[in-house]
Amino acid sequence: METLADRVILLSGLKRWLLTITSGAALALTLAPFDFPAVGFVSFALLVWVLDGIAAEKSRLPALSAFFATGFWFSFGYSLASTWWLAIGMLQGGPDLAWAFPLALLLYPAICGVFYGLGAAFAGIIWTEGVGRLAALAFSLAAADWLRSALLPGFAFNPLAMTAMPAPVLMQSASLIGMAGMAALAVFVFSAPATLGHGKHATSSIGLAIALLAAHLGFGIFALDQAHPDDPATAARIVQTASSIDKIINNADYNLNVLISAQRQFKSTSDKSTVILWPGISLPTVLTQNPAILEKIASSVNNREVLVTGTFRTEEGDTPRLYKSVAVVNHNGEIVGASDKKTLLPIIERNFFSAWLQKKDEPNEADNRPSFTAGGPRQTLPLSTNVKALSLFDTEILLFRRVLEQVKDADVILHLSNPAGRSTKLGTYQELRYAQATAALTGTPILRASNSGLSAAIDGNGRILESIAIGTTGVIDLPALPKRAKRILIGQNEVREAIFLAFLGVFALVAWIVGRTN
C-alpha cells in the first residue's frame, strides 16, 4: 500500500489529471443500478493521495489552485459518468434541439466541478497529516454539496450521499444527519484507507471510520425493525402502460384509452377508498378544456375512488402561461385537487416538451404557445377524508431540502415520472433510488408511477414493497396505504445536519492547528 501511495503522490501533469478524472468517473459505479460502494474506497483514497502530493510539492497559493483543479476534475469525471443520460433528451427532441446535446452533456459536470473544486480548495487551507485531512475533505465536499443544492436545485443530481446509500438499511441515518451529513460520512469513511499509505495515524483513522460505519449500520437495522402500521381505510393502485413518449405527447386520447384499458384489465376488488395513480403526464392536454376526457375518467372510477394524473394547466393573460400539473379527479369528473410542478429541469425539460408540442401545430400556432412556467407554492392533494398527498414530478424527487420543507402536512408522496430525458435504464434506476432516499429521509411512503417502468410502492423507510419492471404493462394494488415511519427525532433535520458538519469542521481545524504546532 505504501508503494502505491508513493507512486500516486509523485504523479504530476497529464498522469495526475488522468488519474483524477478516472477516479471520479469510477465513483459512478457506487450508484444505481451498479450499487458497488467498494469503489468509493478506491476513488477517495486515490483523491487523498493526489492532494497529498500537491500539498507536499507546492507553496500555499499554487497549492490551493491545484487543489481546486483536482476537485473540479474529480467531480467532472463523477458527474459526467453518472448523469450523461440527462443529455439524451436533447437528441430525442429532434434536429431543433440536437445543438444543445453537447451543452447538456458538459454543462452540468462543469457546474458541479466548480462547487467541488471550491470544496477541495477549502480543504487545502487546513490540509494536514493523518485523520485531520479526512475530516477536512469530508466537511468541505459535503458543504459544497449543500451549497450546490441550495443555490442551484436544478443541478442537484447524484449528491455524494447517494454513493453510500445502495440499500434501505444504509439510508436511515439520513433522517438524523440529513443528506449533507450523509455526504460527509461517506467521504470520511471512503477516504480512510488512504491513511494506510504510510501507516502513521492509520490505526486511529481506520478505527474511527469503522466506528462511524458500525453506528450508521446499527441505526439502519434498528430503524427498519420498527413496526409501521398501514392505513386500513385507504387502498392504492398504481397503473403502468409502457406507452412510448411519442404516442403520449401526440395522442392524448390514445393514451387515455390505454390507461383505462389497463386499469380495467386488472380489476380491483377493494371496497375501500382507493387512490388510482397514473404515470407522468398521462394526459398532455389542458384537462379543464376537455370535458369529454373528464367524462371518460369519471366512467372509469367508482364513488369510492379518485384518480390522480399528470396534465397541463393554463393561465390566460397578456403572457399566457403553461404549467405541468397534477389533478385529482373523482367519479363525477370533477377536479377536486390540483398542484403545479414547482421546479423545472434546466434546458432539457422546457425545450423537450416545447419541441414535441410544436410538431403538433401549424408554425403560427406553435410560435404563440407559452413555454412551461414554474408553479407557485405547492398544495397538498386531498385523496380521501383522512389522507393528503404531496405530488412531485420527475426529478423533483431529488430536491431533498425542498421536499423536507413541503412534506410536513402530507401522509404520502405521489411521484409521477415520464421517461423524457431519462430514456436510459441508468436514469430510471437512479430516479427510483432518489425516491427511496426521499422516503427514508422524510419517513414518508411514496407511490411512484413511471410510464417507462420501475413504478413502485415504497414504505417510509425506503423499502420497495412492490414494483413493475421496465417496459411492461401492469398495476400495483396495495390493500392498505403505508403510514409514515416512526422517527426518534422529529423535525429540525437541517439543524442536526449543520451540527454534524460543524463538528467535522471543528475537528479538522483542531487537527490542523495541532499539526502546525508540532
Q: What is the chain's mean pLDDT, rounded?
A: 87
Helix (H, G, I), strand (E, B) or coil at 443: coil
421, 345 contact by CB (below 8 A): yes
Residues in Cβ contact with 379 at an 8 Å cutoff, skipping those fewer than 6 apart: 337, 338, 339
Q: Picking from 70-79, 107-116, 159-168, 414-423, which range would have the lowest pLDDT averaged per residue?
A: 414-423
> What pLDDT sits at residue 87?
81
Measured distance CA(350)–CA(212) in Å, rounded = 43
Find residue 51's DSSP bridge partners.
none
Only one residue has cell 466537511, namely: 139
183 — phi, psi (to 5°)? -65, -45
Q: Calculate Rg over the CA atoms of the chain.
A: 24
Tens of pLDDT along 23-37? Answer: 999 999 999 999 999
Give the residue with greater pLDDT, 6 vs 253: 6
Range 259-264 contact pairs with CB under 8 angstroms and sequence separation of 24 or more: 260/296, 260/297, 260/300, 262/473, 262/474, 262/475, 263/237, 263/239, 263/300, 263/475, 264/300
Tens of pLDDT along 326-345? Answer: 999 999 999 999 999 988 76
> What pLDDT sits at residue 350?
56
Only one residue has cell 487545502, namely: 124
pLDDT of 308 strictly over 90 = yes
Find residue 240's DSSP bridge partners.
474
Provide the whole-model pTM: 0.92
Measured distance CA(183)–CA(187) in Å, rounded = 6
Q: Picking from 72-81, 156-165, 398-407, which range would have the lowest pLDDT averaged per residue?
A: 398-407
Helix (H, G, I), strand (E, B) or coil at 203: helix
Domain range list for the chain: 2-225+493-517, 231-482
Only one residue has cell 404549467, namely: 323
> What pLDDT sits at residue 122?
97
Measured distance CA(22)–CA(351) in Å, rounded = 32
Measured distance CA(278)–CA(101) in Å, rounded = 30
Class of domain 231-482: alpha beta
Measured distance CA(41)–CA(26) in Å, rounded = 11
Tens of pLDDT along 142-189? Answer: 999 999 999 988 778 899 999 999 999 999 999 999 999 999 999 999
Number of residues written out for the chain: 518
pLDDT of 368 strictly over 60 = no
